[in-house]
Structure 1
């Protein structure tokens, strides 16, 4: 189970680093990483602070799973936090039924293509790994 925890930590460290990179250097093509409507208009503009907060949350998620291997702090509620992260990513995988997730109805945008091919499968993989780790670990 340590391998799963390390894999999750690695994914979260990578995603956190990507968000911090975007804070410092910007996003080259926002239509590939942020949902857009059919006209190509961005549906959200998180800005630098929002992107930084997401990066920090992802770094916190990484610390939760690194702690399962390194045990650098002891906290009884860590399993509940981990399940919460799992449910958060399950919600991301399912999506909003319009622009995000496997069940989206708008499928003709750059983001929809990237979401179907990369983001939603990654989110599903993270969800499954978290639940496997917490239920059978």
Structure 2
């Protein structure tokens, strides 16, 4: 069970990494609803370098998830991998809670396209990733 959850989480993380690399290289598909909005404009605009860094971090997270699930990828002590997987789970859970402004359950800025996507897709995705990664850490292999 943990292997299935870990591989599924890694697949999602890998797909998200690919999407970030697509955006970093100039792709536009989906890009209009991934940045929080304020007064009809993007609240911030990430650079291609920052977007690439997020892609690399997501790929690293996928590697950690695969290693924690028993698919040997990273040559690290298992306790480090387990701790890293727990931290990833916590990070996705915190993303669900949000920043109390633009993202998450307690966001104040609602009614934008981003806020709708956050409620319908981004938060459920983060809940699923947090749960899958927590299960990989907590359930026996």
* TM-score, L = length of structure 1: 0.92
More helix per residue = 1
Worse overlay, 47-56 or 98-107: 98-107
The answer to whether the 8 A contact 1:31-1:40 is kept is no
Matched, 1:10 2:16: no
How far has the Cα of 1:77 moved from its partner?
0.8
Match of 1:116 among 105, 114, 119: 119
Tell me which residue corresponds to 1:87.
90
- CA offsets, 1:103-135, max 9 Å, x none? 212111110011100001100111111111111
Q: Distance in 2 between matches of 1:111 and 1:28?
A: 14
Uncovered stretches (5+) of structure 2, i.e. residues with no partner: none
Shift, 1:25, TM fit: 2.5
What is the RMSD computed on CA atoms of the aligned residues?
A: 1.4
Structure 1 residue aligned with 2:133: 130
C-alpha displacement at 1:94, in angstroms? 0.5
The structural deviation recorded for 1:28 is 4.4
Aligned length: 136
1:1-137 matches, within 5 Å, as 1-28=2-29, 30-37=31-38, 39-67=39-67, 68-72=69-73, 73-75=75-77, 76-137=79-140
Is the alpha carbon distance of 1:40 and 1:48 closer, same or farther for their aligned partners in structure 2, counting shifts above 3 Å? same
